[in-house]
Amino acid sequence: MMHEANRRIAPLILAAFGLAVVPFVTSDYVLHIAIQILLWGFVYTAWSLMGKFGLVSLGHGAFLGIGAYVSPLLWNYAGLTPWLGIPIGVLMAVLLALIIGYPCFRLRVIGHYFALVTLALSQVALLTIVAARDITGGSLGMTPRAVGHSWYALQFPEKPYFYAIALVVWVFGIGVWHFVDLGTGRAALDAIAEDEGAAAAIGINVMREKLRVTVASAALTAFGGALLSQYFMYVNPDTLSGIGVSLQIVFAAIAGGMYSAFGPTAGGLFTIALPEILRISMGTNFVGAANTIYGALLVIFIIFMPRGIIGLVERRLAAAPARI
């Protein structure tokens, strides 16, 4: 048993070491892409906590938006450090998750209906941010007051700092994913995803299990949103909340594979590196070409590879010994 655990952990340690040396050997540009992949990968992982148990939320744009806006707003208008602002934003997202989640689960709003209710939620967040343009800057977005390198303000113009933060946060996200995957709640959640009525009949507290995973997912998503705004030093309602972002989160998690720990991150790699590569290879002459190919690939992914990139790789690996 111990030996088995060692064999699983050894490659992880190697990989962590490999990721840790990245800032010493690459350019700022590569680092910029890597930070985005890690932070978005963290958000996608947070979404997949719910997604893999059949709770397909299109409302994560709302949680992301709250996380991204609350801390810069408190910093700009009250001078409150992000060390307090970010937890406040996360708490607000959790509160919203409870307000929406509790009635949804109590009244058994599932499937299409759950997706569409949460879709409305993300639209409410987007429109509220736009409507409060006096303080949020509306569609033009806003910039947290910059003070240069500062731990107090959590602002680091040098990329390696943020890379380190993003890496730690991402590892934390993977850890939470494993915790949920190995915990006792997993069997219960699987049973609920399979048949909610039957799960309740054998004594599973459907409500509690669903709320727990929803709260965890919302909190991590808001945390990811806060870090994205700290890194970019700019928040914009269209890139951090609303239906577009919600769909982006869902697609990335599904394209990567939401049933494996590294799937959503692979989705992040795919959704951030691919447009970047397409943009570089095609130039900016064809605005939209990269996104068109990206959109077509998404549809193809969902039709032919519903378990995502990592899901396909795992199936290949699992099938390989059988062939010998």
**Burial of residue 12, with CB atoms counted within 10 A of its CB: 0-12 exposed, 13-18 middle, 19 or more buried:** exposed
Answer for which of 100, 188, 189, 245 binds another protein (CB under 8 A) is 100
DSSP summary character for residue 55:
-
Interactions with another protein, residue window 219-278 (CB under 8 A): 243-244, 247, 250-251, 254
Encode 248-282: b = buried (16+ Cβ within 10 Å), e = exposed: bbbbbbbbbbbbbbbbbbbbbbbbbeeebebeeee
CB of 22 to another protein, least distance (A): 30
Q: What are phi and psi of 200, to 5 degrees?
A: -65, -35
| AA letter at 292 | T
| AA letter at 65 | G
Tell me if 124 contacts another protein by CB under 8 A.
Answer: yes
Task: Give the C-alpha separation, 176 to 302, whole Å.
Answer: 26
Tell me if 98 contacts another protein by CB under 8 A.
Answer: no
Tell me if 287 contacts another protein by CB under 8 A.
Answer: yes
* Cα–Cα nearest to 211, from 89, 52, 50: 50
Q: Which residue stretch of 28-36, 86-94, 205-213, 302-310 sits at the interface with another protein (rule: CB under 8 A)?
A: 302-310
Please name the residues in contact with 201: beta carbons below 8 A apart, sequence gap of 6 or more.
Answer: none
Answer for which of 16, 95, 116, 140 binds another protein (CB under 8 A) is 116
Q: Which residue stretch of 97-105, 163-171, 182-190, 260-268 sits at the interface with another protein (rule: CB under 8 A)?
A: 97-105
Q: Which residue stretch of 7-15, 28-36, 109-117, 211-219 sits at the interface with another protein (rule: CB under 8 A)?
A: 109-117
Residues forming contacts to another protein in the complex (CB under 8 A) are 54, 56, 100, 103-104, 107-109, 111-113, 115-117, 119-121, 123-124, 127-128, 130-131, 243-244, 247, 250-251, 254, 286-292, 294-296, 298-299, 301-303, 306
